[in-house]
A = this chain, B = another copy of it.
Amino acid sequence: MVGPSSYFTPSRIDELAAEQRELVGRRERLLGNAYRLFYDQPVEIVRGSGTLLYDADGTEYLDVYNNVPSVGHSHPRVVEAIARQAAQLNTHTRYLNRGIVDYSSDLLATLPDGLDNAMFTCTGSEANDLALRLAKAVTGHAGVIVTRNAYHGVTTEIAAISPSLGGLDTVAPWVRVVEAPVGDGLTFVRQVAAAINELRDSPHGLAAVIVDTIFASDGVRPAPTAPGSPGFLAPVVAAAHAAGGLVIADEVQAGFGRLGSWSDAPHRFAEPASGLWGFSRHGIVPDIVTLGKPMGNGMPIAAMLARRDLVDEFGSRMRYFNTFGGNPVSIAAAQATLNILRDEQLPLNARRVGDSLRAQLRDLAHTTPELGEIRGAGLFIGIDIIDADGRPDEARTIALLNELRRRHVLIGASGLANSTLKVRPPLLFSPADADRFLTELAGAVQAVRGSSTSASGTTPRGRASEQI
């Protein structure tokens, strides 16, 4: 008997309905066992609109999981931009093209002075890979500091700074790992300082400290203080700079408004309070910022932003060209996405709906012993699932994922113990969507509580946290 898992267990293929069994079987045969499917009963999604997804039978699902389609699935303005540009031209950046220049201008205008240059890639992994290449080239050092369950991507280099992928044994010798921030983050600050000192005294030296500014795979760790006031990242920046290293803010998950604006009022995008960037909540300016996932609402596009002097230094020594990076179709999608974020004031929606949802989740947690701490900012929320002794309960978390899927709500998990429900829906998530989620979550907790399999047997390698 195989226990519950975040993923479909291939040996259970005979439990599927005939048509799905045939498709799952072909998929397994053609894509191999490195490809996995969410949930003990896979969903075949065929259509999306706003915060809703539909399976092959027309059943509607509420999407509480997908942070890529941040302006909503199949947003007509993004679709139109893609279709128009694809019909006109798709080529590379070695011909002059107005779209990439205009988009870079609009994008960089939302960032603080000092982050002056954009370089485009196709994936967040490539953006982080480029950021690390730049940091190593410019500092002349190799050492990198990451958090305990960090996930920054899947290239060889970036997998080696992503302990969430393969554990501490798989990080490179030039990597130092610190515990993710909890509470006021003081321990985190001290651990980073100690790691910096250790690297500085080693042959590696310090190239960079890299942080996902919402610490998604570490279980969602927002700034402990009011946005913009110095939090636990300001002393990290100071210590890194003092040691000759750089700070890379990985905004692949936190960026583009997910963490919400800083007040319940509209903001202009150029203001830090617009909430477009996670690092701004900490009152810091990183040396390098990496972007990805929601940038083109699903089109493959990502970027590395950096101080001009760093890019100049790198560019004077190395070439970088990415065939599909910054192609006109991906840029058109990114421009439309940025315009929609602004026109529909989605960071403000993330703030309003997120604040309200967290408050309601805390109310629910008061009367629900399985729900522990609720953390988050905007529409990135972590819900700790705990056992009767208040400890992380991975088995129950997985049972809840699967129960919510049966209730047509799609969600994932995160954290070192894979026991934090990860709430990060498209940013147009409405109060009604939030109510529906709360109702189904409460129902799922009850259903799992009554089920005999709730807390039994986690599968080996069953983590869902590290990937997207």
Interface residue A11 (Cβ < 8 Å from any Cβ of B): no
Q: Please give, as numbers and ranges, the residues of chain B lying within 8 Å of A95 by CB-CB distance.
A: 37-38, 42-45, 53
**Nearest opposing residue in chain B for A123, CB measure:** B122
Query: Do the beta carbons of A312 and B126 come within 8 Å of each other?
Result: no
Whether the Cβ atoms of A323 and B292 lie closer than 8 Å is: yes
Q: A79-87, A341-349, A432-440: which one contacts chain B?
A: A79-87
| A35-B119, A89-B74, A315-B34 given; A300·B298 CB < 8 A | no
A315 touches B45 (CB 8 A): no
Residues of B close to A323: CB separation below 8 A = 68, 123-124, 292-293, 467-468
The residue on B at minimum CB distance from A170 is: B318
Inside 8 A of A119's CB, which chain B residues have their CB?
Answer: 31-32, 34-35
A154 with B32: CB separation less than 8 A: no
Say yes or no: B300 contacts A330, CB within 8 Å.
Answer: yes
A468 / chain B contacts, CB cutoff of 8 Å = 92, 321, 323
Query: Which residues of A, 422-438, contact B by the 8 Å Cβ criterion?
Result: none
Count residues of chain A with CB under 8 A from any CB of chain B.
Answer: 100
Q: Do A30 and B159 touch (CB < 8 A)?
A: no
Q: Is A367's CB within 8 Å of the partner chain B?
A: no
Q: How far is the CB of A294 from chain B (nearest CB, A)?
A: 10
Which of A21-29, A180-188, A209-217, A223-231 touches B? A21-29
Q: Is the CB of A33 within 8 A of B316?
A: yes
Q: Is A125 an interface residue (CB 8 A)?
A: yes
Neighbour of A318 across the interface among B73, B166, B467, CB < 8 A: B166
| B322 engages A123 (CB within 8 Å) | yes
Name A's interface SS. mixed
* Interchain CB contact under 8 A, A30 and B467: no
Stretch at the interface among A101-109, A198-206, A269-277: A101-109
**Shortest beta-carbon distance from A308 to chain B in Å:** 6
Establish whether residues A94 and B38, one from each chain, have CB atoms under 8 Å apart when the complex forms. yes
Find chain B residues with CB under 8 A from A93 CB. Answer: 31, 35
Whether the pair A117, B32 counts as a contact (CB closer than 8 A) is yes
Residue of B nearest to A468 (CB): B323
Judging by beta carbons under 8 Å apart, are B48 and A89 in contact? Answer: yes
How distant is A303 from chain B, measured CB to nearest CB, in Å? 10
Q: C-beta contact mask, A441-468 vs B, less than 8 Å → 1, else 0? A: 0000000000000000000010000111
Contact with B along A106-143 (1 / 0, CB 8 A): 00100000001111011111100110110000000000
A124 cross-chain contacts in B, Cβ below 8 A = 323
Residue ID in chain B nearest A297 by CB atoms: B90
Q: Is the CB of A322 within 8 A of B101?
A: no
How far does the alpha carbon of A393 sit from the alpha carbon of B36 in the complex, in Å? 52
B300–A31 touching, CB < 8 Å: no
A6 to chain B, nearest CB (A): 10
Question: Whole-angstrom distance between the alpha carbons of A365 and B460 in the complex?
Answer: 65
Say yes or no for A165: interface residue by CB 8 A criterion: yes
List A residues 298-335 near B (Cβ within 8 Å).
298-301, 308, 311-312, 314-316, 318-325, 327, 329-330
Which residue of the partner chain, among B45, B89, B300, contacts A96 with CB atoms under 8 Å?
A: B45
- For the complex, is A46 an interface residue (Cβ under 8 Å from B)? yes
A306 to chain B, nearest CB (A): 8
CA distance A100 to B46 in the complex (A): 12
Query: Within 8 Å of chain B (Cβ to Cβ): is A59?
Result: no
Interface centre among A23, A35, A292, A297 (most CB of B within 10 A): A35
Interface flags for A57-74 (1: CB within 8 Å of B; 0: not) read: 000000000101100011
Asked if B97 and A69 make an inter-chain contact with CB atoms under 8 angstroms apart, the answer reads: no
B96 contacts A27, C-beta separation under 8 Å: yes
Residues of B within 8 A of A23 (CB): 96, 98, 101
If A30-B118, A129-B155, A155-B126 touch, does A91 touch B105 (CB 8 Å cutoff)? no
Question: Residue on B with the closest CB to A99?
Answer: B46
Complex CA–CA separation, A101 to B116 (angstroms): 42
Please give the distance in Å from A393's CB to the nearest CB on chain B.
Answer: 23
Contact partners of A78 in chain B: CB under 8 A? 86
Do the beta carbons of A33 and B315 come within 8 Å of each other?
yes
Known: A31-B93, A31-B118. 9 other contacts (CB 8 A): A20-B96, A24-B96, A30-B101, A36-B94, A36-B319, A44-B98, A48-B89, A83-B87, A124-B323
